[in-house]
């Protein structure tokens, strides 16, 4: 006779009802319940996760949480590292925008807070700088939103306060270059790439 014993907490990876989690492709959500469903004669446990901002509820099978990369909120050390990342110099590769956009999107959907902070840093524009293109702005806002939601959940603050804290850290970064200087700097990287290609 098969045992109907509840699965151990190991399978649930320590996740509990009521706690906030990070789901890589959707950001911060809250586990509302743990349901049991019967699928093809097997009992399956599902996490019911609600994403307040998107007004969306997902049902994720418990055994799938590792595969999808669901994780607990970042601890203070990771949070500190992400905020420090914002103060660094923007690193913009001299590659086609479409390729860079794909890389930024992959970082945003990785669920890695430090990688998301890198996108915020690299796409941030101060008032003194040239305007972002529409697609840059969209990616910047997506990354900023993901980061602010997690910061707000960890620090128990509002999203507006979290955005303010992120922007304050961005302003502590190195002097934001004007358009000509950005291009000149990128040109050097481009020349290095050409030298590598010529040497290959």
Say which residues have a Cβ less than 8 Å from residue 80's Cβ, sequence separation at least 6: none
CATH number of 20-72: 2.40.10.170
User: How does the average pLDDT of the chain come out, rounded?
Assistant: 83
What's the pTM?
0.78
Q: How does DSSP classify residue 132?
A: P
Q: Are 158 and 148 in contact (CB under 8 A)?
A: no
Q: Which CATH class is domain 76-199?
A: mainly alpha
Angle of CA points 141, 146, 152, to nearest 5°: 115
Question: What does the domain layout of the chain look like in residue ranges?
Answer: 20-72, 76-199
From first CA to last CA, the distance across the chain in angstroms is: 66
Question: pLDDT > 70: what percent of the chain?
Answer: 82
Token pair, residue 72, equals: 């607990």
pLDDT, tens digit, for every residue of 162-195? 999 999 999 988 865 444 444 434 433 443 444 4
pLDDT, tens digit, for every residue of 130-158? 778 899 999 999 999 999 999 999 999 99
Angle of CA points 100, 25, 99, to nearest 5°: 10
Measured between alpha carbons, how far is 108 from 103 in angstroms, rounded to an integer? 9
Measured between alpha carbons, how far is 123 from 91 in angstroms, rounded to an integer? 9
């Amino acid at each position: 006779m098969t045992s109907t014993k509840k699965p151990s907490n190991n399978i649930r990876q320590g996740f509990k009802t009521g706690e906030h989690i990070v789901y890589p492709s959707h950001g911060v959500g809250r586990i509302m319940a743990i349901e049991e469903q019967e699928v093809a004669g097997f009992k399956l446990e599902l996490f019911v996760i609600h994403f307040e901002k998107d007004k969306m509820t997902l049902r994720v099978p418990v055994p799938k949480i590792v595969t999808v990369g669901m994780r607990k909120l970042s601890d203070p050390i990771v949070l500190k590292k992400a905020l420090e990342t914002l103060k660094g110099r923007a690193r913009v590769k001299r590659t086609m925008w479409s390729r860079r956009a794909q890389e930024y999107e992959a970082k945003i959907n990785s669920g890695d807070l430090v990688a998301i902070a890198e996108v915020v840093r690299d796409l941030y524009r101060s008032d003194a700088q040239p305007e972002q293109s529409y697609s840059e702005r969209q990616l910047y806002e997506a990354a900023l939103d993901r980061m602010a939601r997690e910061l707000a959940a960890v620090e128990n603050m509002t999203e507006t306060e979290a955005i303010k804290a992120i922007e304050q850290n961005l302003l502590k970064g190195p002097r934001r270059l004007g358009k000509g200087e950005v291009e000149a700097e990128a040109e050097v990287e481009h020349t290095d790439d050409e030298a590598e290609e010529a040497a290959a």
